[in-house]
């Protein structure tokens, strides 16, 4: 059987893959596992539940809350707030766990359910497996006064806003920020945070209606924000995704500043101020080679992990580090958050501009982005990649040819019949040529007919 939990919780088409019945059952399984310690200590378990504004979130949260309360869990319903806000609140109030109903940057018909453990941290695979196993057993059946309550977490957004503002050591007065809230969970709190921090704010994508989340807006659709930054004369643009756990930026000329460039400028800022633990940054293997080159030039070590912010988080915790993230814009500040936080990231970018008086383009120029070609080879046996000697030899040859001026990465998809071929080089045509050759070889070696 396939695993229920993916790389970021349970996700699928709401009403088909995620139904009211399955959400209720999943909540009951989570109550058994995540509420166990509180019950052993003689306490009533408490859970924070939140969602993004997509329309299906209403019935899913209702089902999740019913499953938890019927299992003896007291539920604090935080309403529509960003994913990092939910994680922060779990830690802030000492809740036993949290539930976020969101499909992040996916279109409105999709939705998802993810859990946070005590302290607002993502669940290890072993705990997710335990929840899956619990789905096959009998749920808890408390009665009378032992049944859980469902109450509104009235000041959830205010608590999170105070937390965000508390991370700043400088006013943003004098900065003009254009925000794209993706018609998502950031629509209320992000404009308020930047305004309260002193910035002048121009906003788009802040009118969620339940079905327009991520539709041609947000961090996966930057065209409108680029136009807004230039037309409004903003100093920078900040783009969130549907649940606001990621951030991409736009400089004053309308150029995209991706997660790697954001990490580079923030790492240099933190090192200069003595806040970069062990002078080390954490990034995934998909980060651009230019990030490593820039960090080497400034005496910053780079720890690389597998793809996924959960692996970045694991490395930050394992090595006691303070900053890490992904090219996609999941940036994690371990002193302030237990997950990627797009609003926090945007505030910190703006703060560095205010602190130094430099433009975003100047700050981002610390990193040269190497040309990168990514080819998704579809309809192939992704599991056959490992152990194929011809492909391994071709990769070794390409790596030798590129030397220090590029790199090669072949990675099977976690869920689809796809092998991703990524090549970076100091010249675009060189990267494209090598990527095309490797993609052709993968297609020939791993196709169904091979």
CB contact at 8 A, 49 and 55 = no
Residue 104 appears among annotated catalytic residues: yes
User: Helix 20-34 and helix 125-134: axis angle, to 10°?
Assistant: 120
Nearest to 31 by CA among 134, 177, 175: 134
d(CA 154, CA 11): 28
List, in sequence order, every beta strand (DSSP E) within 35-162.
46-51, 74-80, 97-101, 110-117, 121-122, 150-152
Handedness of CA 112, 313, 248, 371 (dihedral sign): negative
* Neighbouring residues of 68: CB distance < 8 A, sequence distance ≥ 6: 27, 28, 30, 31, 47, 49, 75, 99, 148
d(CA 253, CA 234): 9
Nearest to 82 by CA among 376, 436, 342: 342
| Among 65, 104, 219, 322, the one annotated catalytic | 104
Q: How far is CA 308 from CA 84, 248, 313, in A?
A: 16, 17, 9
What's the chain's Rg over C-alpha atoms? 22
Tokens coding 377: 């080879």
d(CA 94, CA 114): 18
CB contact at 8 A, 152 and 142 = no
How many degrees, rounded to 5, is the angle at CA 316 between CA 352 and CA 372? 70
Burial class (CB in 10 A: 0-12, 13-18, 19+), 299: exposed
User: Helix 389-402 and helix 428-446: axis angle, to 10°?
Assistant: 170
| Residues labelled as active-site residues | 104
């Amino acid at each position: 059987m396939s695993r229920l939990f993916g790389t970021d919780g349970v996700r699928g088409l709401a009403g088909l893959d995620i139904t009211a019945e399955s959400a209720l059952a999943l909540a009951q399984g989570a109550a058994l596992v995540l509420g166990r310690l509180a019950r052993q200590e003689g306490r009533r378990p408490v859970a924070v539940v939140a969602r993004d504004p997509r329309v299906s979130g209403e019935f899913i949260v209702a089902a999740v809350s019913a499953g938890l309360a019927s299992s003896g869990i007291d539920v604090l319903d935080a309403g529509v707030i960003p994913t990092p806000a939910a994680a922060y609140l779990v830690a802030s109030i000492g809740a036993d766990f949290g539930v976020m109903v969101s499909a992040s940057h996916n279109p409105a018909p999709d939705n998802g359910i993810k859990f946070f453990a005590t302290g607002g941290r993502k669940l290890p695979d072993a705990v997710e497996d335990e929840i899956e196993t619990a789905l096959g057993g009998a749920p808890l059946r408390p009665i009378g006064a032992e049944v859980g309550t469902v109450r509104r977490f009235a000041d959830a957004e205010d608590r999170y806003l105070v937390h965000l503002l508390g991370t700043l050591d400088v006013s943003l007065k004098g900065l003009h920020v254009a925000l794209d809230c993706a018609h998502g969970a950031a629509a209320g709190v992000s404009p308020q945070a930047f305004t309260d921090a002193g910035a002048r704010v121009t906003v788009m994508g802040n009118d969620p209606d339940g079905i327009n989340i991520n539709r041609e807006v947000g961090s996966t659709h930057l065209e409108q924000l680029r136009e807004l930054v230039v037309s409004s004369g903003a100093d920078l643009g900040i783009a969130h995704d549907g649940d606001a756990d990621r951030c991409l930026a736009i400089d004053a000329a309308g150029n995209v500043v991706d997660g790697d460039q954001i990490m580079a400028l923030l790492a240099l800022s933190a090192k200069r101020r003595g806040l970069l633990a062990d002078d080390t940054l954490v990034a995934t293997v998909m980060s651009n080679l230019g990030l490593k080159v820039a960090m080497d030039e400034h005496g910053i070590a780079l720890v690389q992990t597998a793809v996924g912010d959960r692996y970045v988080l694991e490395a930050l915790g394992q090595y006691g580090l303070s900053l890490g993230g992904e090219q996609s814009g999941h940036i994690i500040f371990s002193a302030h958050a237990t997950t990627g936080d797009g609003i926090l990231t945007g505030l910190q970018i703006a703060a560095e501009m205010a602190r130094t008086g430099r433009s975003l383009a100047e700050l981002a120029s610390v990193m040269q982005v190497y040309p990168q070609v990514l080819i998704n080879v579809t309809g192939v046996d992704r599991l056959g990649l490992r152990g194929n000697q011809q492909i391994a030899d071709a990769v070794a040859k390409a790596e030798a040819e590129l030397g220090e001026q590029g790199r090669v990465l072949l990675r099977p998809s976690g869920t689809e019949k796809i092998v991703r071929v990524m090549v970076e080089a100091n010249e675009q045509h060189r990267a494209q040529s090598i990527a095309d050759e490797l993609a052709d070889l993968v297609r020939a070696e791993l196709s169904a007919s091979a």
